[in-house]
Amino acid sequence: MRTDRSGERGQVLVLAALMMAAMVGFLAAVVDVGNAYAQRRMMQNGADAAAVAGARLMADNLAHGVSDAAVLGTINTYLSNNGTGAAVPNTGPDVSGAWYTRIDGTRVRAVGTGSLPPADATDIRGVEVQAGKQFSTFFAGVLGYDRLTVKASSAAAYGSASSELLNWTLTGVPLLPLAFDIQAYQNGINSCNGWGGFGSDHQFHFSQYIDTPSDCAVENDMHFSYSTLNIGANCSDSTIKTQFDNLINDPSSYGTTSIQVDPSGNGSQIQICHGSRMSNPEIVVGVGRTIAVPLVSHPIAVGCNPQCVAPVLGVGLVRITDETGSGPNMYYTGYWVDPKGQTPVGGLRLGTSSTITGIPTYSLIR
């Protein structure tokens, strides 16, 4: 005898099959998509690390340059250590690869093609790393997806810092309130025998005052004046001497206070104090030490008597070889230091200019 339900035989199998497909789809969504996000995060970490390592290697070797093979090897090492494979020379915009970049991140040429990144190349300021990775799925294969692909890209650059910390225990280079005319700096590196330190012809006499034009022809004379950076707004002896004492003896007292550097003239405002106001500075700069000094515009420097306010356009590096005198008759001997030969400093913001005029730094830019 047939019942009214006899026609429903087999429906459980159909429902079970549909539920099984739904469950597999759900597992694929939870497990495989979750794994894809994890793989993507791992690869992004690898790309970031590889880009920073490549940019830092180039920055560490600014003075002498670095081989293309060394840059590629460093990038591949960091990618491999993070399980993302190698950044082989690129064959197109959407494949794994690495490129030398400008300060704004635009590509110059591929890494791994054998071309050397010159130490003084003004257009090359970093690297871009683009990595892709395929991996097997756990459940998505039932839906026709046996393998998934994830991609990640990153870029890092090096250049001049956009800010300089007064706490030089964090940077390794003291930033002292001895302001220089930026034209004096440019004369020193372009007209007065270039970067120094290799003989008397490269030595300069640094003396007051900043409003006197620097003269390379007569004893290679450079001129500075005292500044109170962005801490004080007056030119009293006590203010300037207090800053020098703190910067030399206890730089950590300034914490993370910094001056902002901007070649366009929007940097931190500093008080320039004509040298004659310093009757007894009692400065111990330290012979044989490289120091950083703020640079101000030439028109402002010429008109700065007895004092003025000026934005910081850049930071120069000076090596002091001798010091004599005291008070307004304090004189230094030394030379300008090529910043490209200095070790870059992490933790300082990267400037937007490709010209390195101060302490080099590097960072991720994308």
Task: Report, as an integer, the average pLDDT of 104-120.
Answer: 79
pLDDT at 338 over 80: yes
pLDDT recorded at residue 100: 92
Asked if residue 277 lies in contact with residue 237, where contact means CB atoms within 8 angstroms, the answer is yes
Is residue 99 a contact partner of residue 111, using CB atoms and an 8 Å limit? yes
Tell me the range of 1-15, 93-107, 201-215, 242-256 where mean pLDDT is highest: 242-256
Q: Which of 241-245, 254-258, 301-305 has the lowest mean pLDDT?
A: 241-245
Per this entry, what is the length of the chain? 366
Q: Please answer whether residues 217 and 204 qualify as being in contact, where contact means their C-beta atoms are separated by less than 8 angstroms.
A: no
Give the other-Cβ count within 10 Å of 277's Cβ: 17
Beta bridge partners of 127: 100, 156
Q: Is residue 228 scored above 90 in pLDDT?
A: no
On whether the CB atoms of residues 67 and 74 are closer than 8 A, the answer is no
User: Structure pTM?
Assistant: 0.76
Torsion of CA 21, 27, 28, 30, to 10 degrees: 150
CA distance 189 to 195: 6
Identify which of 354, 194, 183, 206 has the alpha carbon closest to the alpha carbon of residue 291: 206
pLDDT of residue 279: 44
Of 332, 282, 290, 333, residue with least CA distance to 315: 290
Average pLDDT over residues 235-241: 79
Please tell me the number of Cα atoms within 13 Å of 281 on its side-chain side.
Answer: 31
Task: Answer for the pair 330, 190: CB distance below 8 angstroms, yes or no.
Answer: no
* pLDDT score at 143: 62
Higher pLDDT, 48 or 203: 48
Where is pLDDT greater, at 317 or 32? 317
270/256 Cα distance (integer angstroms): 17
Q: Which pair of structure tokens corresponds to residue 311?
A: 């934005």
CA geometry: angle 223, 226, 227, nearest 5 deg: 125
Determine what percent of the chain is predicted with pLDDT higher than 70.
70
CB half-sphere exposure, 337, CA atoms < 13 A: 22
Distance CA(111)–CA(100), nearest Å, equals: 6
Give residue for tokens 């012979």: 287
Strands 178-181 and 290-296: parallel
Distance linking the first and last C-alpha atoms of the chain: 76
Q: Which residues pair with residue 259 across a beta bridge?
A: 164
Question: Is pLDDT larger for residue 281 or for residue 294?
Answer: 294
